[in-house]
Amino acid sequence: MAGAECHCLSDGPENRLDWYRRSPKFQTRKRFPLLPRPFPRKTPVAPQPGAGHMGSSLLSRRSALLAGLGVLLPAAVSNAQPRHRQRHVAPARLTVLSFAGRITQTQKAVLFGPYAHMAHHPIALHPWNGSLDSLRQQEAHHPGRIAACMMETSSLHMACGIDLLAREGADTPANACGKPSASIDYAMAWDHARLDSPPNWADFWDVARHPGRRGLRNDPRTTLEVALLADGVPPDMLYRVLSSPEGVNRAFQKLDQIRPYIAWWSTPEDAGRILKSGGALMGLVPTGEILGDDPTNRQRFGLYWPQRLQVHYSWGLPLSSATNATCLSLVTWLEEPAQQQAFANAWPSLPSMQDIALTETKTGPIPPPTQLNDSFWNTALPTLAPRFQRWARLP
Task: Name the CATH superfamily housing domain 184-311+351-392.
Answer: Periplasmic binding protein-like II (3.40.190.10)
Cβ–Cβ under 8 Å, residues 172 and 268: no
Q: Where are the domains of the chain?
A: 184-311+351-392
The per-residue pLDDT for 17 is 39
When comparing pLDDT for 194 and 36, which is higher? 194
pLDDT in tens, 269-292: 999 999 999 999 999 999 999 999
Per-residue model confidence (pLDDT) at position 1: 45
Dihedral class, residue 162 (left if φ above 0, else alpha if ψ from -120 to 50, else beta): alpha
- Per-residue pLDDT of 188-204, as tens digits, reads 999 999 998 889 999 99
pTM of the entire predicted model: 0.77
pLDDT tens digits, 306-359: 999 999 999 999 999 999 999 999 999 999 999 999 999 999 887 766 677 766
- Closest to 134 in 3D by CA, of 118, 119, 151, 147: 151
CA triple 227-231-233, angle to 5 deg: 95
Q: What percent of the chain is predicted at pLDDT more than 70?
A: 72
Q: Is the dihedral of CA 129, 233, 308, 195 positive or negative?
A: positive
Summarize the confidence of residues 27-52 as an average pLDDT.
41
Q: Does residue 115 carry a pLDDT above 80?
A: yes
Q: How far apart are CA 58 and CA 37, in angstroms?
A: 19
> What's residue 69's pLDDT?
52
pLDDT band at 61 (very low <50, low <70, confident <90, very high): very low
**pLDDT of amino acid 188:** 97
Number of Cβ within a 10 Å radius of residue 393? 7
pLDDT value, residue 176: 64
Q: Which residue has the higher pLDDT, 3 or 213?
A: 213
**Residue 172: predicted pLDDT:** 54
Per-chain mean pLDDT for the chain = 81
